[in-house]
Every structure is written in structure tokens, then in C-alpha cells.
A and B are shown apart, each in its own frame.
Chain A
Amino acid sequence: MKTLLRNVAIEERFHPAKGAGWCGGLDYAGRFLAGAIGKKNRGPAPLEMTVLSAAKVLRVVACAAVALSLLAPQASAQVTFERLLNSSKEPQNWMMYSGDYAGHRFSALEQINTSNAASLVPKWAYQTMAGGKFEGTPLVVDGILYGTGQDDRVFALDARSGRPIWQYQQALPLDIRPCCGRVNRGLAILGDKVFVATLDAHVIALDRKTGNVVWDVHAAEHSKGYSFTLAPLVIKNLVIVGVSGGEYGIRGFIDAYDAATGERKWRFNTIPGPEEPGHETWEGDSWKVGGSPAWITGTYDPATNTTFWTTGNPAPSNRGEGRAGDNLYSDCLLALDPDTGKLKWHFQFTRHDEHDYDATQVPVMIDDGDRKLIAQANRNGFFYVIDRSSGKLLFATPYGRVTWSDSKDASGVPVARKEASPTLQGVPVCPGAIGATNWMSPTYDPQTKLFYVTAREQCDIFATAPQPYEAGHAFYGSAYFPNDEAQPFWGALRALDPATGKLKWEWKHTSPSWAGVLSTAGGLVFTGDAEGNFIALEAASGKALWHFQCGASVFSSPMSFAIDGKQYVAVAAGSALFTFGLP
């Protein structure tokens, strides 16, 4: 069916017996019910309710009585693992960080499309009134928006009006060690709880209706540099998180907690301990403080029951002296069994990394006929396509300017140039320390079959700064700064063909952007720029169709949802979460 009103589609899916019939279409009843539910729980009913004629009211009430009994379980339905697995069937909801388990950040909604995007208008904004970067992608489930903001704020809003329903803020202690701002990128939902992971290394379950703390686990010692910034990933009954802190000489890990109790079910150490395979890739005791965090949300393939996670830089990040070896599993793609945390295979993007090339970009699952792939635009400037059943590299091709590597090994893996190693005097290398991209999400559009990524064209001078490890102190042994001999830095949204790695088109940004990308069934991609614009482009061509000036840099990845049959696109910029829709 045409999916103008996706919330109707979902009702039908849940209640296939119910036809349009005399009720005048589910559309109407659905709207009415959404309004009624809204009145009870979330604020004023929509305008259309107040302008109904008496006859219509009678008819609708009669319909509603029938529909309500059928709809009630859906309206209050909890998010089950089953629903998460089938997220594509309810595109009005955005139930996990990347929208689906494949990491596509694609919305099947098409009400906003290439023919009307030019008329988009702001619908509401929610201000956190906090400073620093607002990096969160919110979730929307059955009309409620759940978001996180700076300083580990969590909030639930009426997705129709933006009015808060509850708010939670973690009381962060003074001795936290966030590397790069007091940021949080989002949350996960299952059953009657939402899950958030905080800068003081707590994993917390909040009641989704009240924001009350249901359970709270201190996963690691925050004063030593362990923290969380990512949105957790729920698989089955487990809440999976990866730790941040590669700047402090932590030993990275990925944890799974029982969603009901908070009990830790497994931990995968991203640096193998003595006797474990891979331990030999670290010199002496360097493994103890070798970093390798896992600070971006993974993806999940239910067909093989495999969860894919990516890891960050070895520590100290820009100084390889003292940690000779490949430094596994830093800068890796890991295939884990979500039930046990056991490693199935790994693929290392950058061996013995000396340029802070964290591999922490969402590993996007793409099915190309029989080929089951993972595509990742890596911070090191290469676009990798990997067979996700074996971990075998299919190809790696640059999608930005690369000077750290000029050769590949027999398996096609890019290898570092010796001369690119940081020195005391400083060496210019591309991409710079922030990378050819960073944590901002890419998107894969199954309609255009293109992979869209925010690329940063910035080279840096890498200079070493020898320093001993000291618990809780910055431990990166290096400095980087812009190479002022180079051309001015710029950025682009690039559309890549994952079959070949070839560039289809690019949209140039005036300066490097920190905004992620959303694609939609309306033939659009949405992204933002450092100058504060939120932009809609034609997915096929890269032509800009619309933009809105948010007043501050966009430091987040957008998402889309629908309520009352109306599609919205949401993005955080400055201190505000903005939503946009058709007039």
C-alpha cells in the first residue's frame, strides 16, 4: 500500500481483520484514537477532533469503540525484541540508534519527498539549555520521543508537540574523564525501560513512562578514564554497550547486561589478556593500558545471530613506541555472538595505528543479492567492503585524501607508510587526527543502493609528545594540529557505490561537518553542516532541495518518525532538538 499514513499501516498489520469499512477508513479512526490517547497521556488532542460534525462524531465514536478494543494492545504495546527485529514494518517509529539492526539509518516514510521537500517548515524545538555538543539521535516509539543530550540528560517528549513528559539527568561526579565533551549519543528501548550509558561509566535502565531509575550499574572506574558516550544496543534480553576512553590508557571492553536486572552477562575485552590469542600483538605490558575502546553502537544480523562492533585507537594514540605489534583488537571490526560475547572473527582496519584512526563508525550491513556485506567508511580514509560471514575484505578504496598509506598487502588491506609515523618535529599526514569521517552516522539507502557518508578533508601535522602512563591522566603521547601549508579544510557529503567504492556524487560543505546522514524512501538524504544548516538533498543526484539555518553547528545524526500520519525529520543542533515537517 501507499504509505502516506504509516501508523495506519501498522494498525493493519496488527489487526489484519479490520478493514476500512463504514468507519470511513482506518486513517480516520487511527487519527482519532491517536488524538484520544494523546489527550490522556500527552497533551491536547489534534485540531481535527474539534471540528468534527455531530454526525461524524457519532460515527467516529462508534468506530472508536471497536477500534479501541483492537488498538489498545498496540497503543500501550511494549517494545519487544520481535518489534525491534521487524522495525522496517513500523517506519513511524525509530526504535534504535541507527533506525534498524542493519545500521542503515534509512526511513521508509515517503510523505516528505523530492516533490515537496522544498516546503519543509520547523514544527517544534526542544531546548536542553546546556552547553557543549548535542550529539544525540532520539528514539520515537508510539508517539513518545526519547532523547539524550549534553551532560547525560535524558528526556521523554510528546513527539507531536515537543512538550516534556519526564526528564532525567545523571549527577555526574567531578572526576569523570570525557575526552571530547560531555556528550551522549542516544539510548535503547525494550519493554517498559529505556537504557542509557553515561560519562561516569554507568549503565542505567529508566522506566519509560516516568524516567524513574529501575537499575543502575557502575561498569568501570570512571576516574581512570572509563566512560560511555554511545547509545546502547538491545539484542534479545541484553543491553550491549562499548566503553570510551582510548585517550586515557584504559583497557577497552564491550559489555552485555540483562535488560530486566542489570546483571552483567558477559564482557568482551577488546585487548586479549595473557594466554588469549592476539595478546602477542602487544609489546610487554602495553596491553594493560592499550585503549581500544568501542564507543559507537554496533549492528546485528539475526540470520547468523552475530553482532558487529567496531573499536577505537590503541593508546597512546599517536605514538607507537612501546607498543610494537598490530595491537589487536584496536581499530577492528568484531563479529561477536550476542548470547555469549564470544568472538567469531575480526578484521583490523589499521594495524599498529599511530594516527588516531578509530574504526568507530557504524558497521553498515548491506545485502547485495547473495552477498552479505559490511560496508564501513573508515576514519583512516578508506571505504571498506567486507564479507560479513567470513570477515574477508572484498576491497578497500579511498573516499577522501589519504597519505598515511600508499600500498596494500596481499589481502588488499592498506598498509601504513613508514614516513607517516609521527615524529617530535611533526609530520603532515592525511587524513588528520579527526579522520576522513568520525562518529557521525552514514546511511545506506536500499532504493538508490548508495552509501552516503560525511567526509572531512583535513590534514594534520602529527607530532609526538612522550609521556608516561598515569591513571586518570590523558595518555595519547602526541599532538596534532592543522597543517597550515595545506589548502583550507573543507568537507563533503559523498554518495558511494558499495558495489565498487566509486563516488556517485558529492555535496561540498564550506568547512568539515560533524553531522550524520539520514536517507528516506521519499528519495531524500538529510544532513547538516558546521555552519548550522540542516539540508535536504535529492538522494539520486545530490541536488540541495531545502535547508534551514539552525543557528549553530549540527553535531548529530538525523532521524525520521511519523505521528498522526504526519512525517517529521528531527535533528539536534546547538542546544536544541529541531523537528521539521510539511506545512
Chain B
Amino acid sequence: MRCESSGATSVTKNMSESRRETFSKFLTAPKRRRAIVAGFVVTVFLWTTAPTLRAQEKNPFAGDAKVAKLGEYQFRLNCAFCHGLGARGGGRGPDLTRAQKHHGNTDAELFHNIHDGIAGTAMPAATNGGIGVGMSDEEIWQVVTYIRSVEKKASAAETGDAARGKALFYGSAACGSCHMVSGKGGRLGPDLSSTGTSRSLEYLAESVRSPSKRLATGLSEPMKDFSQEYETATVVTPEGIKLQGVVLNEDSFTIQMLDTREELHSFEKAKLRSFEKTRESLMPAYDAKSLPEKDLKDLIAFLLAASEKGGAQ
């Protein structure tokens, strides 16, 4: 089968999104009005002449269990490599069983994200030259149908007290000393602004209780099969200074790291007095004693609320 890896991270910009931005940013009001009229004319024209475009706005197979099954197989072939079996998320790909999706929830947005990829992420276009062997429009809709069939709703309100969670996050639980949410917090751990929509509640809970079980992923370089993970590095510099921190990137000869004082370093490994790397996360494991179940739920509610609103402020 796939004779080679996808190696695929050349992602296509989501055109509809970028067009919208450009539209309001750069056109003056009268020009905008004219553009709107022109756009309307074009839309009407396309509406009447291009049924395929219309089809892309709405899933033609919505709710069809048989199609969902076909979609599951397509998902296994094309998506599971990153998003895991059952769409529950892999190291690199978010959990797609979450009803609230960070990059858009509508059928049209899901279709476009699969068809064109998502700029600035490792999500490639599902066409030839992207990951795997590519999918036809019909197959993409099958996948959308499948994803819909496994979605689970999770709301902050049902999970816990988000306001209390926020207080814990930046207060006694001290998550904020290493994690940022919507621009506020520390830098050592992954930014958690969108984690609430990209990971399942179980995954989030597990990450707090046993952070070393599955390290978060960081940088994804184009063409590289695997992303850098949040490994822990301990080095002694040529000057004899001992530093500990997270690995931001690494190759056979160099390491780039952020130390626990949030200082960036890049070292040539051969020049270091010592270099050790472990898969023990720098994050402490919060057991039920240090973080009771109620607090954990409130924290997760905060993460859900933050990503649902697109910001916690």
C-alpha cells in the first residue's frame, strides 16, 4: 500500500477563510458594497450553474448509517494515521469525536478542512499530493458523515464550574505557571487555549493525572513523519551550568530547549559537558490528593469554556 509515508504537511490555505478576512480589512465601505453586489451576482450564477458547489455546503448523506460505515473505512485509510482509530485523536491529530471543533463545526467547514487542509497545522489536503492516496468529494462526505456519527457533546457547564476552574488554574493548582490560555500564563508547557475542543475529557483528565503517559506534541516540521514531543532535557553547558527544560526541537547534532526559567537555548550536543533526555514530563502528576476530582472537573470545565469561546478572558 502506501509505498512511502505521506510526509505530508504542505498544507493549503483555507481560501474561504482568508478571503473573508481580506474582504473586510482592505475594502472601503462603497467598494465593499459594490463587492457585495458583485459577490451576490456571482453566487446566484454559481447557485444556478454549479450544483457541486451547492453540495459542498451541506452533507448530502447526513445521518445515513450505511454511509457512516463507508466513511469509517475511508477514515481508517486516510485519517487514522494522525487522528487515531475511532477518531479519538492521536499524538498529532486532535480528537474528532468532540462536537465542538477548533477549526469549524459546520458541514462546509469540515469538508473544506479535509479537502484543502488547514494552514499552519499538520493537516494536509486530502487530494493527491497530500496524505495517502487522496479522497474524492463523495468520500470526503462519507468521512464527514462518519465523524458526525461518533461525535459526543461536552459542555463546560455540564462538566464543572469553569470560573472556579480558572481560579484553580492560575491559583492553587498553578497550571498557569507553565501553561498559557489565550495569551495568559507560562510558556514551559503546551498552550492550552484550544485543547478543550481538540481532546476528549478522558484524555484531558489523564494528562493531568499522569502527564508522562503520553507526552504532548510540539513542533511539526514539513516532511517529517513525526512531531517533536515535550520531552525533558537536562544539560550541563560547556561553562558548567546545569539546566533543565523542555525539548523544543532536536536533531543528531543540536538541541533547542526552553529551560525552567523560560530562557531559550540552542546547543551543539558535542560541546555540552552532559546531555540527558527523558520521557518523564516536567509536569507534576496531580493525584487525587493534590487535586481532588471536583477540582479536576472544574479545571477541565475551564479549558472547555476557554476553547468554546475562543478565549477565556
Whether B73 lies near A512 (C-beta < 8 A) is: no
Does chain B have a CB within 8 A of A526?
Answer: no
Please judge, given known A-B contacts A181-B129, A479-B80, whether A555 and B2 are in contact too, CB under 8 Å. no
Whether A360 lies near B3 (C-beta < 8 A) is: yes
A315 CB to nearest chain B CB (Å): 8
Contact-residue size bin, chain A (C-beta under 8 Å from the other chain): 35 or more
Whether B1 lies near A529 (C-beta < 8 A) is: no
Which A241-268 residues have C-beta < 8 A from chain B?
Answer: 244, 246-248
In this complex, which of A360, A463, A508 has the most chain B Cβ atoms within 10 angstroms of its Cβ? Answer: A463
Whether A489 lies near B229 (C-beta < 8 A) is: no
Does chain A have a CB within 8 A of B190?
Answer: no
Q: Which residue of B lies closest to A244 (CB)?
A: B3
With a CB–CB cut-off of 8 A, which chain A residues contact B287?
none
Q: Kindly state the separation between the CA atoms of A178 and B127 in the bound complex, as whole angstroms.
A: 10
* Candidates B77, B129, B252; contact of A132 at CB < 8 Å: B129
With a CB–CB cut-off of 8 A, which chain B residues contact A488?
226, 229, 279
Q: Kindly state the separation between the CA atoms of A177 and B3 in the bound complex, as whole angstroms.
A: 13
Please judge, given known A-B contacts A176-B128, A181-B7, whether A533 and B251 are in contact too, CB under 8 Å. yes
Which B84-108 residues have C-beta < 8 A from chain A?
Answer: 84-85, 90-91
Q: Which residue of B lies closest to A295 (CB)?
A: B3
Q: Which residue of B lies closest to A464 (CB)?
A: B76
Does chain B have a CB within 8 A of A179?
Answer: yes
With a CB–CB cut-off of 8 A, which chain B residues contact A509?
252
Q: Kindly state the separation between the CA atoms of A465 and B73 in the bound complex, as whole angstroms.
A: 5
Whether A481 lies near B4 (C-beta < 8 A) is: no
With a CB–CB cut-off of 8 A, which chain B residues contact A553?
7, 221-224
B296 CB to nearest chain A CB (Å): 23
How many B residues touch A, CB cutoff 8 Å? 40
Q: Which residue of A lies closest to B73 (CB)?
A: A465
Q: Kindly state the separation between the CA atoms of A478 and B133 in the bound complex, as whole angstroms.
A: 13
Which B109-148 residues have C-beta < 8 A from chain A?
Answer: 128-129, 132-134, 136
- For the residues of A in contact with B, the DSSP-based class is loop
* Candidates B10, B76, B91, B224; contact of A465 at CB < 8 Å: B76
Whether B81 lies near A474 (C-beta < 8 A) is: no
Q: Kindly state the separation between the CA atoms of A508 and B253 in the bound complex, as whole angstroms.
A: 11
Which of A55-63, A76-84, A97-105, A431-439 touches B? A431-439
B112 CB to nearest chain A CB (Å): 19
Does chain B have a CB within 8 A of A445?
Answer: no
Does chain A have a CB within 8 A of B250?
Answer: yes
Q: Kindly state the separation between the CA atoms of A358 and B134 in the bound complex, as whole angstroms.
A: 21
With a CB–CB cut-off of 8 A, which chain B residues contact A318?
1
Does chain A have a CB within 8 A of B209?
Answer: no
* Candidates B4, B72, B133, B221; contact of A439 at CB < 8 Å: B4
Whether B252 lies near A181 (C-beta < 8 A) is: no
Whether A180 lies near B252 (C-beta < 8 A) is: no
Which B49-88 residues have C-beta < 8 A from chain A?
Answer: 72-74, 76-77, 80-82, 84-85
Per-residue CB proximity of B265-303 to A under 8 Å, as 1/0?
000000000000001000000000000000000000000
Q: Kindly state the separation between the CA atoms of A553 and B84 in the bound complex, as whole angstroms.
A: 25
Q: Kindly state the separation between the CA atoms of A23 and B117 in the bound complex, as whole angstroms.
A: 64
* Candidates B85, B223, B253; contact of A479 at CB < 8 Å: B85
Whether B3 lies near A547 (C-beta < 8 A) is: no
Does chain B have a CB within 8 A of A510?
Answer: yes
Does chain B have a CB within 8 A of A338?
Answer: no
With a CB–CB cut-off of 8 A, which chain A residues contact B3?
179-180, 244, 246-247, 295, 312, 358, 360, 438-439
- Residues on B lying within 8 angstroms of A by beta carbon are 1-8, 10, 72-74, 76-77, 80-82, 84-85, 90-91, 128-129, 132-134, 136, 214, 221-226, 229, 250-253, 279
Pull 20 A–B residue pairs with CB atoms less than 8 Å apart, ordered by A: A178-B133, A181-B6, A182-B128, A182-B129, A246-B1, A247-B133, A360-B3, A433-B1, A479-B80, A480-B80, A482-B226, A508-B252, A512-B226, A514-B5, A531-B221, A531-B224, A533-B253, A552-B222, A553-B224, A555-B223
